[in-house]
Structure 1
């Protein structure tokens, strides 16, 4: 049951991410930083894509994805259409990977050390939903404050 809840939440919030990125009227504003805002919406979007493709896609879905985390925050001026395509691909990766996860695996130790101590796969997946939502809120504020 938790797997279905997680799939629903990831899809909902990744679709919201897609809507937020698509709502930017000035594409260059995606990369704008101002007044104490540490990360642009574009970089936060790349970070979320990298995060989910690493911890869900590569580890649980065995996609072979290789993360370049530093690029998530240093790349600039990626076209909006490319970001939207990457979000759509991530939605599919997350869905397919979670289809492979059993209820029993949720209680198993997640194969990678992500935090300061080992966690269960279920714990990490719940964490990833809250991480997505946290940055989604930042992107929403970024858009409403700077895409004028």
Structure 2
């Protein structure tokens, strides 16, 4: 039940991320920053892709994904279509990895220390879902403020 709910939430918010990117009238603005907006929507998108592919794909799904976190914030001008393709691929990776977990696994300890202390799978997966939603909200405001 929890795994099915997490799959729904990750797919919902990753699909919303695609919709948000498609809503930009000017594709170049995806990479814009301004005043107190330090991260572009494109870099936040790459960050979310890297985050989910690392902590769900590589760790749970054993995909072999290797993260370059610095590149998530330094890469620029990747096309909207390529970003969307990466998000679509991430949706598949997340679903396939979560399918490998049982409900009982969720109560066991997530193997990596990522936060300030070890957590259960369920705690960490809820954290990842809220992290996705947080940055999705930032991207929504980025578009509303800069894509005018």
How far did 1:8 drift? 0.4
Q: Number of aligned pairs?
A: 148
| Partner in structure 2 of residue 42 of structure 1 | 42
Q: In the alignment, what sits opposite 2:22? A: 22
Match of 1:7 in 2: 7
Q: Give the CA deviation at 1:35.
A: 1.9
Matches within 5 A, 1:84-95: 84-95=84-95
Tell me the TM-score normalized by structure 2.
0.99
Listed one character per residue, the Cα deviations across residues 78-108 of structure 1 (whole Å, up to 9, x for unaligned) are 0111000000000000011111111111011
Q: Could you list the runs of 5+ residues in structure 2 that have no partner in the other structure?
A: none
Q: How far apart, in 1, do the equivalents of 2:135 and 2:100 lie?
A: 26
Aligned mates of 1:29, 1:41 — CA distance in 2: 8
Query: Residue 142 of structure 1 aligns with which residue?
Result: 142
Query: Secondary structure, in 3 states, of the residue corresponding to 1:51?
Result: helix
Asked whether 1:54 is paired with 2:59, we answer: no
Deviations 1:27-71 (A, max 9, x none): 110010012001000000000000000000000011100000000
After TM superposition, the structure 1 = structure 2 runs for residues 94-133 of structure 1, keeping only pairs within 5 Å, are 94-133=94-133
Following superposition, the deviation at residue 134 of structure 1 comes to: 0.2
Give TM-score scaled by structure 1 length: 0.99
Deviates more, 1:20-29 or 1:44-53: 20-29
Give the deviation of 1:127 after TM superposition: 0.3
